[in-house]
């Protein structure tokens, strides 16, 4: 099935729950190109158990999600413009954790609301849930109520080279039961928390966070936001630049959730702390080396017990008390 060069106007008329203005179920090799989908009273486009592509199309003013793919595989979602979605922009979901293989590339997603409320299930420009092996690349995302890109229980996800500005919560998330995430070369400007790789308590582990720029952070929820990059377990954090974090440029670990983390070759500027590293009893190994810290008034590297700072600056003294930590060759001024 191919839809090409069409305008579909829903007129804002409410659709039944779960339905879309253009709704496809178990369709193979569907192609939607150069279409204009406006004022859908539910989802703009829905794919249920489909494969195919949506390219060079515009979806504006969908009451729920602009483009929802559920239990589909190998969909290409590229070069689309999505604006003013009521709850989410692009959703790539599976009903169970499994391979998906969708490509989400070079789209523009703006002004995503969270009309249905919640704590993160809505308000995301791009949402990947339980879908494995998804690539999210080169998207331009602006003004989302929650996240620019949220991977929830999405293993082997790649989030690369996206431009993310004006976000309401965590700009880029890899959370809950995932294994394997590459978060690289993204720009984040204006958010509460920049990049979060979390939820080891649900099995979240194994990531690289490299080459990202995170700047102009703010916090509206004291103690709950304000870190540039937060990681927990089996993660490499390297070559990032963080500027203007109200809490820590990099937060390594949360309580007992810290194991096999390296923080190397990063630059942290004008932040309350450079690296906040968990020193709770039972934490695993962490290496913090070859980083540059400028104007981190609360300390370049500080030991934490959850929210509470329990050490001074470990680049100056006190690191020997924590044999699980290797702290070397950092520069602070």
pLDDT at 272 (0 to 100)? 96
CA pair distance 108, 242, nearest whole angstrom: 24
User: Can you give the C-alpha Rg of the chain in angstroms?
Assistant: 21
pLDDT by position in tens, the chain (length 333): 999 999 999 999 999 999 999 999 999 999 999 999 999 999 999 999 999 999 999 999 999 999 999 999 999 999 999 999 999 999 999 999 999 999 999 999 999 999 999 999 999 999 999 999 999 999 999 999 999 999 999 999 999 999 999 999 999 999 999 999 999 999 999 999 999 999 999 999 999 999 999 999 998 665 568 999 999 999 999 999 999 999 999 999 999 999 999 999 999 999 999 999 999 999 999 999 999 999 999 999 999 999 999 999 999 999 999 999 999 999 999
CA pair distance 19, 74, nearest whole angstrom: 22
- Please write the tens of the pLDDT for every residue from 45-87: 999 999 999 999 999 999 999 999 999 999 999 999 999 999 9
- Phi then psi for residue 202, to 5 deg, are -105, 10
pLDDT at 225 (0 to 100)? 81
pLDDT at 142 (0 to 100)? 98
Listed in sequence order, the residues at least 6 apart from 116 whose beta carbon sits closer than 8 Å to its beta carbon are 64, 86, 87, 122
pLDDT at 224 (0 to 100)? 60
Handedness of CA 150, 41, 39, 31 (dihedral sign): positive
pLDDT at 219 (0 to 100)? 82
CB crowding 279-317: b at 16 or more within 10 Å, else e = bbeebeebbbeebbbeebeebbbbbbeeeebebebbbee
- Please write the tens of the pLDDT for every residue from 267-321: 999 999 999 999 999 999 999 999 999 999 999 999 999 999 999 999 999 999 9
- Pick from 271, 269, 328, 314: which is nearest to 293 by CA? 269
Residue-averaged pLDDT of the chain: 97
pLDDT at 222 (0 to 100)? 58
CB atoms within 10 A of CB 107: 28
CB crowding 154-181: b at 16 or more within 10 Å, else e = bbbbbbbbbebbbbbbbbbbbbbbbbbb
């Amino acid at each position: 099935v191919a839809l090409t060069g069409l305008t579909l106007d829903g007129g804002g008329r409410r659709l039944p729950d779960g339905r879309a203005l253009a709704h496809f179920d178990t369709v193979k090799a569907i192609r939607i190109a150069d279409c204009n989908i406006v004022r859908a009273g539910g989802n703009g486009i829905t794919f249920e158990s489909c494969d195919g592509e949506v390219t060079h199309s515009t979806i504006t003013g969908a009451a729920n999600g602009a483009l929802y793919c559920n239990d589909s595989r190998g969909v290409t979602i590229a070069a689309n413009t999505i604006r003013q979605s009521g709850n989410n922009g692009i959703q790539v979901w599976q009903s169970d954790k499994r391979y998906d293989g969708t490509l989400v590339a070079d789209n523009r997603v703006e002004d995503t609301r969270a009309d249905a409320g919640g704590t993160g299930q809505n308000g995301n420009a791009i949402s990947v849930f339980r879908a494995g092996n998804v690539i999210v690349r080169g998207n331009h995302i602006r003004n989302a109520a929650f996240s620019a890109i949220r991977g929830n229980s999405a293993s082997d996800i790649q989030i690369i080279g996206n431009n993310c500005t004006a976000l309401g919560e965590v700009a880029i998330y890899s959370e809950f039961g995932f294994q394997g995430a590459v978060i690289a070369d993204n720009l984040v400007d204006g958010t509460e928390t920049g990049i979060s790789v979390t939820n080891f308590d649900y099995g979240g582990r194994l990531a690289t966070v490299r080459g990202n720029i995170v700047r102009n952070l703010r916090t509206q929820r004291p103690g709950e936001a304000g870190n540039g990059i937060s990681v927990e377990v089996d993660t490499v954090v390297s070559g990032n630049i963080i500027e203007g974090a109200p809490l820590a440029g990099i937060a390594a670990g949360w309580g007992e959730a810290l194991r096999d983390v390296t923080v190397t070759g990063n630059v942290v500027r004008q932040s309350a702390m450079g690296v906040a590293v968990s020193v709770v009893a039972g934490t695993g190994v962490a290496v913090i080396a070859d980083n540059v810290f400028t104007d981190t008034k609360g300390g370049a590297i500080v030991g934490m017990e959850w929210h509470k700072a329990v050490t001074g600056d470990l680049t100056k003294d006190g690191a020997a008390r924590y044999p699980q930590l290797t702290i070397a060759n950092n520069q602070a001024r």
